[in-house]
Amino acid sequence: MDRAISVLRMNDTGVFTKPGPHQYPHQWNWDSALIALGLSHVDLPRAQAEIRSLLSGQWHDGMLPSVVYHSIPSDYFPNPQFWQIENSPSAPSVPTTGITQPPLLATVVKLIYDRQPIHDFAGEVYPAILHWHRWLHTARDADGSALACIIHPWESGTDDSPRWLHLFESIQPEALPEFQRGDTRYVPATERPNRTEYERFIYLIDVFRKLNYAPRELLAHSPFLAQDVLFNAILFRADEDLRALAISLGRPTDEIDGWRRRMQQNFNTRFWDEKIGLYYDYDVRSGRPIPVNTASTFLPLFAGLPSKEQAQRLVEEHLLNPVEYALRGEVRHWVTTTAKTEPTWEARRYWRGPVWIITNWFIIEGLRRYGYDDLAETIQQDSLDLIEASGFREYYDARDGSGCGSDDFSWSAALALELSKFPVPMKAKS
């Protein structure tokens, strides 16, 4: 595991840790949460510093942005000049993006809290995380359900997932601002998003900056508005962890209890497809589910949201189904990000098929929570074998385990530390 530690050290700028040395030279939100989790095993003060520096990018209204640039020069696009966040009264003085990412931070702080003496630190960061969750449950609540909406595929963390293609069909950019992609400089274009999708990513940012990132305007006018299973499962789990922190810190829990109650009531009704036995995301603009089978359907296990029967259907009818996710034929590694049955499945393209260590970690934790320990162990071992054979890559080709995307990828290193040194025992759902 010394190699994992050297990757994290190598990507450490002193202020924050880059997700990847060339491809991702700034501070990403959920990457930093996982990096802090990995660092907590070897350098607790540095893990805390990582979280503090992420929180320095928080907006005044509570939004925690997807990227904090920290004024470090780079060739990364989109750069702070492109986002123009200074037109929003809520923007911080540090340059950031104007969108958020899956709220994993509370869960990471809770995981560290359970193992190490960070009571004071937890008390220090608790108000900022609570503020972010409040923003998600209000500024991003389109229908009173307490489910959060995302306005851009990048907010889902699974940027190029085929589930967004459905929404993109109705988005026809009238005019595009001038831009030059930077993401294919270090990674082959065949492993990155296609041009059509990329243009829509950029078009959406242009819409948002014209609306000065005003949350109400965004909810009313963003052409892309979705309730995402992965994002909301992570939020529900993060609320659970935030609540546990509140109790340990002697703070009130009523507000969090209210969010959790409403989410619990609405999650399964909104996302679960009883006929197919899968969770599907929801397109708020068209009022329709997005019927694409991707690994994010397993995320609710991580949050304890499915009933025992639902969990059994997810595992037996889908995860273990050789046509969809289980190993068969050319697919020799767990877990492809998209089911093989999807026509959009591609072995090496970003979020279209490759294996990601982060997705595997969520699934491993989720399976443990429901008592599928053997399967969890198989996926855990396969994840560590992939890293052993191909290094700390951003994602892996499920056919031969070869690496794709960025090399020396921080969260693969952080999760290798987490998975190999301290597997987290989860309680079975009562």
Task: Kindly list the catalytic residues.
Answer: 159, 394
Helical (H) or strand (E) element with 201: helix 195-210
Number of residue whose CB is nearest ligand GLC? 19
Identify which of residues 31 and 407 has a Cβ nearer to ligand GLC in the complex: 31
- Residue 153 CB, shortest distance to ligand GLC, in Å, is 9
398 phi, psi to nearest 5 deg: -70, -10
The strand order across the sheet containing 149-150 reads 149-150, 226-227, 281-283, 288-290
Long-range contacts of 43-46 (CB under 8 A, 24+ apart): 44/112, 44/116, 44/118, 46/12
Q: What per-residue string of b and e applies to 254-267 under the rule 16 or more CB within 10 Å gives b?
A: ebbeebbebbeebb
Contact between 326 and 320 under an 8 Å Cβ cutoff? The reply is yes
Q: Is there binding between residue 28 and ligand GLC (CB under 6 A)?
A: yes
Q: Are 277 and 317 in contact (CB under 8 A)?
A: yes
Q: Does 65 bind ligand GLC (CB under 6 A)?
A: no
Contact (CB, 8 A) for 364 and 380: yes
Q: Does 38 bind ligand GLC (CB under 6 A)?
A: no
Nearer to ligand GLC, 30 or 168 (CB): 30
Q: Which of 57, 65, 78, 157 binds ligand GLC (CB under 6 A)?
A: 157
Residues numbered 239 to 258 that lie near ligand GLC (CB under 6 A) are none
31 scored as a contact of ligand GLC (CB under 6 A): yes
**Min dist. Cβ of residue 157 to ligand GLC (A):** 4
How far is the C-alpha of 114 from the C-alpha of 111, rounded, in Å? Answer: 5
Segment near ligand GLC (CB under 6 A); pick from 5-13, 28-36, 125-133, 296-304: 28-36
- The verdict on 159 binding ligand GLC (CB under 6 A) reads yes
Pick between residue 31 and residue 408 the one whose CB is nearest to ligand GLC.
31
**CA 404 – CA 354 distance, rounded (Å):** 8
Q: Where are the alpha helices (DSSP H) in 222-296?
A: 229-249, 254-271
103 near ligand GLC (CB under 6 A): no
Per the structure block, which two tokens stand in for 318? Answer: 């889908």
In the complex, minimum distance from the CB of residue 208 to ligand GLC, in angstroms, rounded to a whole number: 17
CB nearer to ligand GLC: pick between 141 and 159: 159
Rounded Cα gap, residues 262 and 303, in angstroms: 15
Measure CA of the first residue to CA of the last residue in the chain; give whole Å: 35
Which among 23-31, 143-151, 301-309, 331-339 is the span making contact with ligand GLC, rule CB under 6 A?
23-31
24 lies in the binding site for ligand GLC (CB under 6 A): yes
Question: Cβ of residue 159: shortest distance to ligand GLC, in angstroms?
Answer: 4
- Check residue 259 for interaction with ligand GLC (CB under 6 A): no
- State the number of binding residues for ligand GLC (CB under 6 A): 7
Q: How far apart are CA 380 and CA 361, in angstroms?
A: 8
Q: What distance in Å separates the CA atoms of residue 143 and residue 52, rounded to the nearest whole number?
A: 33
Measured from the CB atom, the residue of 159 and 191 that comes closer to ligand GLC is 159
Please state the closest distance from residue 18 (CB atom) to ligand GLC, in A.
9
Minimum separation from the CB atom of position 20 to ligand GLC (A)? 6
Least distance in Å: CB of 358 to ligand GLC? 8
Find the binder of ligand GLC among 17, 19, 155, 215 (CB under 6 A): 19
CB proximity list for 64: less than 8 A, separation 6 or greater: 29, 54, 55, 57, 58, 100, 101, 103, 105, 128, 132
Q: Which lies closer to ligand GLC via its Cβ, residue 201 or residue 203? A: 201
Nearer to ligand GLC, 157 or 162 (CB): 157
Which residues make up the interface to ligand GLC (CB under 6 A)?
19, 24, 28, 30-31, 157, 159
